[in-house]
Structure 1
């Protein structure tokens, strides 16, 4: 078992102020893979103090200097890709191939996209020809607290750490205590890249401990959080007294609207997307809204996708899905599947219990419910497991109404060959993102939502601006 009790503070791996051990459990085996320590107030204070002391010098470095450090981080990240994949597979259960390809690949892609966006980033921008002496300057916020989840570890760590450092901020990262190993490896990468001491710090801990300590800390200027809506509300309240900037990327309950003229692969694509990463994605299309004329065929197709989606250990290669992250998460998903049955949804694939032939590990059967009404629990709550709810609709207006009838507003999906309809529907959906006909959002597109999904904008130029404050200046000499 790995001993990972130390924290990365002020350029050094240091012992915690007070021992508070926690085992990291491998969800494929239910056995401990590592032991970490949960931080105390003294650890949080030390990390924030190091970041505060490093801020003046780091914020005054040139953009070119900061970019060179990020390029070095990318180089080392790519070299240590297999180590990173191992960590992610063992801490949160992403299968070996998926971990190396998509989990690690997500971090690589974000770093590259931030490098591209930063090269063209203008820190001083003219207001316009109507006001030749007025400019908007973009400047670092200060010390930022970064709180990240377990489901896509490097996706979220790179979406926060990289733009923060490029902006000129200094950072304290609190990764999920359930899946901290990948973030600790990321700290090793930053250290090897030679980032100055105190610019980046890592303290492990839980939300009630280190998470709250960062949220209320008077020397933390900003909190960037990704996780549950419940925790996001608590962080916002905790941060209010110190008036710090709070950026939240929260849950989702995405609707995937399948019109009768959708392409032949639309349902297959949507169901597979729902089950991917064992359903542990905030932007998963977990509600499939299907036009009634093609509804029965869609239900049959989705059930077939579930039946042929294999489930297996994260330690094995292949295209299967792995376990969910923890026993608590497994039990929550089981309860919600049973609730779907009890409330009258028609179970057409999967169901409660472990997959056939499995007797250990937090594995969930890919599950499909048909004849779901949008007021059912499984249509309203974020399940965070491989569970698809299929809902019929009769008209475009009804589809939009159902899609928007949710507290969340992260990602929605539209499947239709009618371009005018796609455009029209996309503009009426209440979400921060809309993906249509399986086309992914372009590199550098902002990731984020509305309503109970929070209002973060992560990635690309907007993701850089999230970690800065704007300053309006008049009397600017453009010739200086």
Structure 2
């Protein structure tokens, strides 16, 4: 068991009480709490009502260097730690997450505005599940040996080195565990930079990991802005892997920096996913799938925000979805009855509303919503559905990342046009398909450009499956063994036959290869 972390005094300026939970606002570097060398902080506001939650240590180049140095120093020991022990420690961290589910859920709801009931029942249990899955997968990681002209090939996964993990604000701890779990299981050490809009549960997670016995320097947290903390982290020569979830422009900058040192990157970026609804689909199911896209106030990269409906099914579909949206309750995410909470930040609400206003000015019609929820004020935006939009319009082509859907139609029976519209953006993260025809489902799914295709369902994700995007939606795949392929250096060891008679035969084989090139 690791020694107790340095405790901040109860009334320390380094501790904020959020939803009744004490949260240390300093970085976690090398197994201890570290204030920013400059003394600078930034304010973390709650999306619920805009009130300040905490003053967070604002990291920069010095904290980035220190965190990577700590990860480098800890790497040899962690890489040499037997897989069974690494797995045990990850299970211990998962135990800690489960023990603090209520605290984590309450803090994350205050920090990012997602539903408290979802955090309690789904998100935080998934955090623990992510850690347990990769711990168990590590112990099952294997490739069958194979023979080549009498020689044995043995494939192994060697820990790659310190990994910088940069996570977004829409599912802060869940996405952090999705990256941290496989990186630590693989034997790599980690520097996590959470979003400046949602840093709090990353700090709690550092406490949990420490209490579980994770060695100093194996897991580090640097808080701050991308330009000040993220940029020096990805540029540090000690970093051997970079995993980033966020925007396409930021990913391009990271990729350019990483390219100078040939550091492998994994990017999960934006989406503009389609929901294709054929006339033979179950209309109730299709409407349910559409309404699911308002989950987390539309702040989900996988959301199928472009609804493409077969013309003959349009009116019935609209009737069903209108009925469902009118039954949604928008309000305080801490209330069990709430279905749609606030968006993350006033600047983000302005961005979402800008997309909608420009679409309306261009001729779109809002059949549902169309602006902020003035009754609630603040960061609440009405669930919105826009019709009369063109395929090449901004609202169809660009990711809004809010509770805004568009509806287009395609001619009856015209799968080619449905696929053309579905594939008609620069993104390719996911696609959802509603149909009652099994053969059509197979035909259309095969033609969709997407990392994940859901047929008559949505957001069913198994950690054994590859996850990632095509086109501008990302680079690489994670999940299952694909995560270990990323966070490790794969090695193939080729062993010649042993013993004098076999050694002579091995030389003969070698001479034969030399003669024949």
Quote how far apart the aligned CAs of 1:129 are: 6.7
Quote how far apart the aligned CAs of 1:346 are: 1.9
Quote how far apart the aligned CAs of 1:416 are: 0.9
Asked if residue 299 in structure 1 is aligned to residue 311 in structure 2, the reply is no
1:211-360 → structure 2 map (5 Å cutoff): 211-355=230-374, 357-359=375-377
- Compare 195-204 and 236-245 and name the one that shifted more: 236-245
**Residue 367 of structure 2 contacts residue 385 of structure 2 at CA under 8 Å; is this kept in 1?**
yes
2:8 maps to none
- Distance in 1, Cα, partners of 2:498 & 2:428: 42
Q: Against the structure 1 CA distance between its residues 478 and 378, is the aligned structure 2 distance closer, same or farther, given a 3 Å change threshold?
A: farther
2:103 maps to 83
> What do residues 280-303 of structure 1 show as CA deviations (whole Å, max 9, x unaligned)?
000001011101110122123223
- Distance in 2, Cα, partners of 1:415 & 1:128: 46
**Residue 273 of structure 2 contacts residue 428 of structure 2 at CA under 8 Å; is this kept in 1?**
yes
- Compare 470-479 and 291-300 and name the one that shifted more: 470-479
**Residue 146 of structure 1 contacts residue 161 of structure 1 at CA under 8 Å; is this kept in 2?**
yes
Asked if residue 453 in structure 1 is aligned to residue 498 in structure 2, the reply is no
Quote how far apart the aligned CAs of 1:205 are: 1.2
1:366 maps to 383
2:494 maps to 474
Q: Against the structure 1 CA distance between its residues 177 and 476, is the aligned structure 2 distance closer, same or farther, given a 3 Å change threshold?
A: farther
Quote how far apart the aligned CAs of 1:264 are: 2.8
> What do residues 256-309 of structure 1 show as CA deviations (whole Å, max 9, x unaligned)?
111111113233222222100100000001011101110122123223333322
- The answer for unaligned runs of 5 or more in structure 2 is 1-15, 18-22, 500-517
Asked if residue 145 in structure 1 is aligned to residue 164 in structure 2, the reply is yes
- Distance in 2, Cα, partners of 1:478 & 1:433: 47
SS at 1:392 equivalent: strand
- Distance in 2, Cα, partners of 1:66 & 1:56: 13
Q: Pick from 446, 452, 457: which aligns with 1:433?
A: 452
**Residue 307 of structure 1 contacts residue 366 of structure 1 at CA under 8 Å; is this kept in 2?**
no
**Residue 103 of structure 1 contacts residue 153 of structure 1 at CA under 8 Å; is this kept in 2?**
no
- Distance in 2, Cα, partners of 1:455 & 1:268: 32
- Distance in 2, Cα, partners of 1:419 & 1:26: 46
Asked if residue 45 in structure 1 is aligned to residue 62 in structure 2, the reply is no
- Distance in 2, Cα, partners of 1:408 & 1:151: 19
Quote how far apart the aligned CAs of 1:478 are: 10
- Distance in 1, Cα, partners of 2:83 & 2:450: 33
**Residue 307 of structure 1 contacts residue 350 of structure 1 at CA under 8 Å; is this kept in 2?**
no
**Residue 306 of structure 1 contacts residue 367 of structure 1 at CA under 8 Å; is this kept in 2?**
no
> Considering only aligned residues, what root-mean-square deviation do their CA atoms show, in Å?
1.8
- Distance in 2, Cα, partners of 1:329 & 1:208: 19
- Distance in 2, Cα, partners of 1:230 & 1:15: 30
**Residue 92 of structure 2 contacts residue 212 of structure 2 at CA under 8 Å; is this kept in 1?**
yes
> What do residues 20-66 of structure 1 show as CA deviations (whole Å, max 9, x unaligned)?
21111111111101110110211111111111011111101111010
- Distance in 2, Cα, partners of 1:187 & 1:265: 44
Asked if residue 383 in structure 1 is aligned to residue 400 in structure 2, the reply is yes
Quote how far apart the aligned CAs of 1:132 are: 4.5
- Distance in 1, Cα, partners of 2:217 & 2:223: 16
1:9-48 → structure 2 map (5 Å cutoff): 9-48=29-68
- Distance in 2, Cα, partners of 1:411 & 1:437: 13
- Distance in 2, Cα, partners of 1:390 & 1:478: 68
SS at 1:257 equivalent: strand
Quote how far apart the aligned CAs of 1:314 are: 2.2
SS at 1:133 equivalent: strand
> What do residues 94-145 of structure 1 show as CA deviations (whole Å, max 9, x unaligned)?
12112212332331332233234223112x6424577741222211110110
Q: Please give the TM-score of this superposition, normalised by the length of structure 2.
A: 0.89
Quote how far apart the aligned CAs of 1:320 are: 1.7
- Distance in 2, Cα, partners of 1:456 & 1:269: 31
- Distance in 2, Cα, partners of 1:309 & 1:230: 34
Q: Pick from 164, 167, 172: which aligns with 2:183?
A: 164
> What do residues 304-358 of structure 1 show as CA deviations (whole Å, max 9, x unaligned)?
3333222111232224211011011100011111112112122101011224x21
Q: Pick from 391, 399, 409: which aligns with 2:418?
A: 399
- Distance in 2, Cα, partners of 1:233 & 1:125: 37
> What do residues 382-441 of structure 1 show as CA deviations (whole Å, max 9, x unaligned)?
111011111101211111111111111101011111111111111111111101111624
Q: Which runs of 4+ in 1 moved over 6 A?
A: 476-479
Q: Please give the TM-score of this superposition, normalised by the length of structure 1.
A: 0.95
SS at 2:495 equivalent: coil
1:96 maps to 116
- Distance in 1, Cα, partners of 2:327 & 2:273: 23
1:210 maps to 229
